[in-house]
Amino acid sequence: MKITIFQHVPFETPGSIESWALSRSAELSTVELYNHQRPSVPPDCDLLILMGGPMSVGDQDKHPWLADEMKALERVLKSDLPVLGICFGAQLIANVLGMRIFKNKYKEIGWFPVERIGDNPDGLDLLPEKFEAFHWHGESFDIPQGAKHIARSEACENQAFLYKDRVAALQFHLETTLPLLQGMIDKCGDELDGSKYVQSPEEMLAEHHRFYKVNGLMNTVLNRLTDLK
């Protein structure tokens, strides 16, 4: 199995995706877009993963590689390749599918509950009915035409969607590990303003069992997507 990862900043790494790939004897190929590596997807790729990042889809003046990434993603979405978008990666998918990305009513940073919306009649239930996930976002997306809206939270109505049963867009982070979270706090800690849905670093780092739970959910999502091939 061969997996291509588009990474947007050094500190938003694949996290637990790496250990899952190792357990499946999968080959990970990371495209470091922040280092101006070309956003290409090899023809023998089995899964494309778009990681998160603190930028917005309209920041092409600051990040010129975004335009090339969107063109590459547009081609992939027209193919049969499974795709997983995480946070900013999910926003990229929504935007390429013609949807607006907008400032959410609340910033959502920390561990907060998510609930699944409905069931997929085709059997690809990626998420449990209720679960806790890690969040770090201030923007959201509209649900693309033809996609299934599959999750919401109290702070953000559009948390996830499934498109053509092979493209999963998740606003939240299931790949979060302790080092990954610490890196986000170190690099983006100025966003922690103490507002309603923003936890302190101490709250976010307090209970390590949370990482194991979300990483288990990440494994489920990855297993379901790669089993489509």
pLDDT, one tens digit per residue, over 175-197 is: 999 999 999 999 999 999 999 99
Which one is catalytic: 12, 69, 87, 156?
A: 87
8 catalytic per annotation: no
Sheet strands (E) in the chain: 2-7, 27-32, 47-50, 83-86, 101-116, 130-141, 147-152, 160-163, 167-170
The reported pLDDT for the residue numbered 122 is 54
Q: Which CATH class is domain 2-226?
A: alpha beta
137 is catalytic: no
Domain regions of the chain by residue span:
2-226
CA dihedral angle for residue 48, residue 49, residue 50, residue 52, rounded to 10 degrees: 180
Q: Confirm if 49 and 169 have CB atoms less than 8 A apart.
A: no
Q: In the predicted model, is pLDDT for residue 211 greater than 60?
A: yes
Q: Which pLDDT does position 120 carry in this prediction?
A: 62
Tokens of 179: 């080092």
CA distances from 41 to 2, 21, 44, 82, 202 (A): 10, 18, 8, 12, 39
Q: pLDDT class for 206, splitting at 50, 70, 90?
A: very high
- Whether pLDDT at 229 is above 80: no
Task: Out of 8, 135, 137, 173, pick the active-site residue.
Answer: 173
- d(Cα 93, Cα 141) in Å, to the nearest integer? 10
What mean pLDDT, rounded, does the chain reach?
95
d(CA 19, CA 26): 10
Is 173 an active-site residue?
A: yes
Least confident of 46-50, 66-70, 85-89, 114-118: 114-118
- 98-122 tens-digit pLDDT: 999 999 999 999 999 999 998 765 5
Quote the CA–CA distance of 122 and 63 in Å, as a whole number.
38
